[in-house]
Structure formats: C-alpha cells, structure tokens
Amino acid sequence: MSAPAAGLARILAVPPPGPGASGEPRWLAERRSRARAALERAELPTEAEEDWRYSRIGELDQQGFLEQTGVVPIGSPAELDQVVDALRAASGVAGVVRTLDGRIVGVELGAQAAGLGVEVVGAASLEEAPDQLGELVAPRADAFTLLADAAGADVVAVFLPAGLQLGAPLVVLHELSDGGVAFPRTLVLAGEHSAASIVEVVASGPGRRLVVPVVELSVGAGAELAYSSIQQLGAETWQIGYRASRLGAGASLRSFSAALGGDYARQLDQCVLAGERSRSELLAVYLGRGHQVQDLRTFQEHASARTRSELVFKGAVADEARAVYTGLIRMRRGAVKADAAQTNRNLVLSKGAHADSVPNLEIEENDVRCSHASAVGPIDPDQLFYLGSRGVPPEAAERLIVLGFFDDLFSRAAEAGVGAYLRGAVAARVTGAAPLPAPSAA
C-alpha cells in the first residue's frame, strides 16, 4: 500500500501562503497553495509501480532527511569551481549563475550575453508566471514534483531571445548546504532560431540530504540548444530528479549528462519531439562505487513526422554499487518517417556490483524506424591480459579500459570543457575499485 505524501509537507511546515504572502507575487503564492493541497491527497510512489521498479523508494527516510533542515552551508564544493575553470580554459563562459539550496545568490552575465538580450532571473521576482513553467514536467508529475512546487525556494529562469547566437556556455551552479531538503529548479526558454549552450552542475558535501532538481527545456522552432548536466552529490545524498524537454519544428537538442555521486540518485529524462523534423541527441555517463545506486529513466517521445532521436547511455559499477537503466521509445500516431535509436552499455567492475538494462518500445505508427541495444558485462579479460603483458599494473589497466569505454562520449560532449573535466573526475573515482579476479592464464 502506498504511503501518504502529506507527511512531507507537514514535516517541512510549508505554510499554505495566500496571495501576496511573504512578498511573493500572487501567481507564485497561488501555485504553492495548489501544490500543497494536491500534496495532501497524494501518495508516495512504491516499487510496485512500473516507473519505480528497481528503485530504493521504499528506503526513503523522510524524517531522517528533514530533521537536518537548517544546517549551515558547507561552502562551495570544489567541483563547482573546477568545472567553471575547465570551461573557461576550453571555450570561455557567457555567464555564471549560482544558487544555494535552490535560491539564486549570484548572477554574472558577460558583456556579450547581456548585449544579446540573454536574461537570467529568479521567477519569484516576476509579476507573472514564466511561460511553460511546470507544463513540460506535468506528464511525469508526482508527489515529489508537487513538493518542489510547494516548497521550492525559487526558479532559475533563463530567457534566450529569438535569433540569439551565444558563442560560449551559460553555467548554472547549484550548491547544497550540508543537510536537509532542497529543490533547485531551472527553466530554459530558447526562442526561435536561437543557438546557445547551458551547463548545469549540482554538488554537495558529505551531509545527509534529499535533493529534488526539476529542469524544463523548451526549444523553439529552428533553435539549437546544447545542455550539459554534471551531478556530483555527496555519498549520503538522495536525488530524485526530473528533466523534461520539448522541441519545436526543426529544433535540435544536444544533451549530455554525467551522474557520479549520491547514495541513491534517480534521474528521469523525458524528451518530446513535438515539431516536425526536430531532433535530439541524449548522451550520458554514470559511475557507481561503494553502495551507490544510479537509477536512470528515459523517454524519447516522437509526436511529429520526420523526427529523429539518438540515445547513448554508458555506465560502470564497482564494489557493491548498482545501476538501473530503463528507457522507452514512444512513436505517437502521426510520427511518420521518424527514426529513433537507443543504446545502453554497462561495465561491471566487481563481483558484488550489478547493473540492469531495460529498453522498451511503444509504437503507434507504421512508417517509422526504431532500434535499441543493451549490454551488461565485465571488462574483456583479453584487454586486461594484453595490458598486463606489457607491464601495466591491474588497477591502472582497469582505469585505462574504463576511460576508453567512456571516451567516445566525452568526445561528443557539447562542451569540450565538460569532456575534459569528466575525464579527470571519472579517473579519480575508478582508482581503488575492487577488481574482479584476474583471468586465468589458461
């Protein structure tokens, strides 16, 4: 039986704010009130539901996380500044936005971005709700998205004007204080025929924390949006994340994600190709160590003709970590001549580690093309033997093989600085993993 979600709202003591309460605009106060009312009637998901199979939702310690609310910030995790440095070295940055527990604490836009009309604001400062806020994630709404609406501090709203050509990435850095609950939220509205790149990073220290990030990407007709996400949460942090994108006619989205941290880290990613001839590229790398669980769910939804999507997710798990990938390609009626591909590959580096790969197709139209492939297995013993025969120690050989496994995706990252940073971050995490037994010389 499902557990009620109302307890989350009561423990958080989220007030049912009336219009204009606490200096908030009327639309935001009313939005919070509606979300709280819906949350009182909602139930938490369970592992019996298809969308939550293989998850650890039954282990969610509501009270344990919420009791730590109010712990002071830990100071910016080093990873945040390291990512910015890597981007500056590779391509420069158009601006840096910083949040603390979902509230904007700094916006630095370069002269080029400001001159071209790029706007980055906290939605709580707007007299009217931003267009499409909440609409893209609505099909996957549940108790956690309601909680984000009821208790989220603010929304980073990024407005990219029509025709914009932004030559360097805009970086959004989400810092989390050491304990409690946070709801960082980002809305990107890319105007028609614009071209821009967004890099988003979320990082936390070692404290116990529940984070529910919500990201919505609206890509207008003919626009080209590159989006990169790096998750480097502390070892005790739980993440239940949502990302939804919608593409207009002729639009393109290049998405690259890296999931490296967390205790249980779930990320749901839905991409709707709504306009004819729109196209998406969804790439991701994920790594599990210790007792981590990386739980990734994707939906490639083709809702119009001649659309194209490609998905490649690669993961590696070591020690007693677990990875779950579940993907669905859905071809809606009317998506004639649409083309979709889905690939998931996993390396299992230790005896106690485990990976699940579950690809799915749902086809309502005849004249379409779909393909999917998945694989789970250990490092090829011939590769280890080859490197060992040339004097490479086993730990170094494993690190080289894992980096080679991911390298094609690092090379395809929308921003060279992201790929460069992740090569070092992944190499550091692979070091020290308990290896599988060495292959027999026979």
Any domain includes 197: yes
Any domain includes 52: no
Q: How far apart are CA 260 and CA 386, in angstroms?
A: 29
Any domain includes 144: yes
For the CA atoms of 84, 85, 89, 95, the dihedral, rounded to the nearest 10 degrees, stands at 30
Other C-beta atoms lying within 10 Å of the C-beta of residue 386: 13
The distance of Cα 45 from the centroid of its chain, to the nearest Å, equals 20
Q: How far apart are CA 223 and CA 398, in angstroms?
A: 41
Residue at 100: amino acid letter: L
Any domain includes 44: no
Tell me how far CA of residue 362 lies from CA of 3, 332, 365, 425, in angstroms. 30, 8, 9, 36
Residue 387 confidence class, pLDDT cut points 50, 70, 90: confident
Any domain includes 423: no
Nearest alpha-carbon partner for 145 in 242, 65, 278, 25: 242
Any domain includes 368: yes
The distance of Cα 105 from the centroid of its chain, to the nearest Å, equals 22
Question: Tell me: the pLDDT tens digits for 282-311?
Answer: 999 999 999 999 999 999 999 999 999 999
Tell me how far CA of residue 14 lies from CA of 94, 175, 178, 279, 368, in angstroms. 36, 22, 20, 40, 47
Q: How far apart are CA 214 and CA 242, in angstroms?
A: 5
289's enclosing H/E stretch is: none
Any domain includes 88: yes
Beta bridge partners of 158: 120, 188
Q: How far apart are CA 304 and CA 278, in angstroms?
A: 8
Any domain includes 156: yes
Tell me how far CA of residue 426 lies from CA of 176, 261, 268, 305, 381, in angstroms. 22, 11, 22, 39, 21
Q: Where do we find the tokens 């609406």?
A: 149
Question: Tell me: the pLDDT tens digits for 66-75?
Answer: 655 555 454 5
The region of weakest confidence among 133-137, 266-270, 384-388, 429-433 is: 429-433
- Average model confidence (pLDDT) across the chain: 88
Structural domain boundaries enclosing 158: 75-378
- pLDDT > 80? residue 436: no
Question: Tell me: the pLDDT tens digits for 194-234?
Answer: 999 999 999 988 888 899 999 999 999 999 999 999 999 98
Residue 63 confidence class, pLDDT cut points 50, 70, 90: low
Q: How far apart are CA 142 and CA 345, in angstroms?
A: 29
5, two tokens: 């979600």
**Starting at the edge strand that comes first in sequence, how are the strands of the sheet with 339-348 ordered?**
103-109, 95-100, 170-175, 195-203, 224-232, 252-259, 279-288, 308-317, 339-348, 369-377
The region of weakest confidence among 88-92, 238-242, 321-325, 339-343 is: 88-92
User: Into how many domains does the chain fold?
Assistant: 1
- Taking a C-beta distance cutoff of 8 angstroms, is the pair 295, 55 a contact? yes
